[in-house]
Amino acid sequence: MSKLKIVGMGPGSPDYITDIAKQSVQNAEIVIGAKKALKLFQDFIHCESLALTAQNIIEGLKYGVASAAAGKEVVILSTGDPGFSGLLGSLLKVAGKDVDFDVIPNVSSIQICAARLRMRWDTATLISFHADASNEKKMKLVEATKSGNIVILLPDPQSFSPSDVARFLIENGIDKKTAVSVCENLTLTNEKVVTSTLAGILEQEFGVLCVMVVGEKNTKVK
């Protein structure tokens, strides 16, 4: 096993912390992650920890890479699964191709959302607007919806919220009666699932932690 590990923390509930994630953190000499990640693992951290913020994320990851290269056991905690809108992309940019590290996967909010809606998602189009709400990606959403695909997406609460998504789709020719589900705060005590239409969520507000499903067959049977 590599000295450097990027570990998925799951969707946020302590119930979704895997044994291998716990063991990795307990054996670490440095644990790096967002404040909510460090808080989730606080009972298993017995070493130096570094809280990542939007301002220090690159420096923090570089510190982790350098510390592992110096022989220390380093764990980087990533929300959900590291490979889907997690920290794996940022780590790859910082570490480069020659740095050895292990990826410990976990359940993502996408998987929890599909489970809550009792839907299969192996044929769905997946799009994340976290840190990238480009027009090119928005048009990919439009085309996927027009083609009849079910789309599971992570909105950006700042620049492309669920209501923004609904408005953009309607303005680009998608029927306002198209089915929509928004799953918020999944696995947490304040979890909420809203099933509606594009028009129905135009004036609704949702928190930062949400997943949106657009498509005629996405709603669960009631």
pLDDT in tens, 78-104: 999 999 999 999 999 998 877 899 999
Considering the entire predicted model, what is its pTM? 0.90
Domain end position, chosen among 73, 88, 107:
107
Residue 197: CB partners within 8 Å, gap ≥ 6? Answer: 176, 177, 178, 179, 180
* Element housing 12 (H / E): none
Q: Are residues 29 and 93 in the same domain?
A: yes
Q: What is the CATH number of the domain that holds 37?
A: 3.40.1010.10
Q: Are residues 41 and 122 in the same domain?
A: no
Residue 174 bridge partners (DSSP): none
Q: Average pLDDT, stretch 61-71?
A: 96
Q: Average pLDDT, stretch 25-32?
A: 98
Q: Where are the beta strands (DSSP E) in the chain?
A: 4-8, 30-34, 48-52, 74-78, 102-104, 125-128, 151-154, 179-184, 192-197, 210-214
What's the CA gap between 194 and 100, in Å, rounded? 42
User: Containing domain of residue 209, as a range?
Assistant: 110-214
Q: Are residues 17 and 84 in the same domain?
A: yes
Q: Are residues 174 and 150 in the same domain?
A: yes
Number of compact structural domains in the chain: 2
Residue of 51, 112, 65, 59 lying closest to 84 (CA atoms): 112
Q: What is the CATH number of the domain that holds 200?
A: 3.30.950.10
In a domain, 221, yes or no: no
At 148-169, the pLDDT tens digits run: 999 999 999 888 999 999 999 9
Residue with the bigger pLDDT between 181 and 216: it is 181
At 187-207, the pLDDT tens digits run: 999 999 999 999 999 989 999
The alpha carbon of 67 is separated from its chain's Cα centroid by a whole number of angstroms, namely: 26
Q: Are residues 42 and 122 in the same domain?
A: no
